[in-house]
Amino acid sequence: MSQGVEFNRLMMQMRAMQMEATGKPQAPAALEQGPDKGSEFSEVMRGALDKVNELQKTTGDLRTSYEMGEAGVDLTDVMIASQKSSVAMQATVQVRNRMVSAYEEIMRMQI
């Protein structure tokens, strides 16, 4: 569940940055942060990427265990883990795409 909390915090920070860049007033909820208010964007992003990596490793291990026929490994567990890692990867790609587009937009601004 902490992965969802980190992703939500990351999305709130991105929205706040977008609002700030476009000159729109920020919503109060976007300014609130969790207990670790000193965390930087790079730390949050690194943590999210580590979680995605961990999910993919877990999925790979479960898949290998199932293929080897180990007892106690269900096909449903493998499929659920696979879907979790797929969704996490898609979310990471979307965050990356938004970051790249925001960077490109900032680079197009005239000083």
- DSSP for the chain? -HHHHHHHHHHHHHHHHHHHHHTPPPPHHHH---S-TT--HHHHHHHHHHHHHHHHHHHHHHHHHHHHT-TT--HHHHHHHHHHHHHHHHHHHHHHHHHHHHHHHHHHS--
| Tokens (6 digits) for 82 | 């696979």
Model pTM? 0.58
- Name which residue leads in pLDDT, 1 or 86: 86
Question: In this predicted model, what pLDDT tens digit does every residue of 14-54 receive, in sequence order?
Answer: 777 666 666 655 554 444 555 555 567 788 888 888 999 99
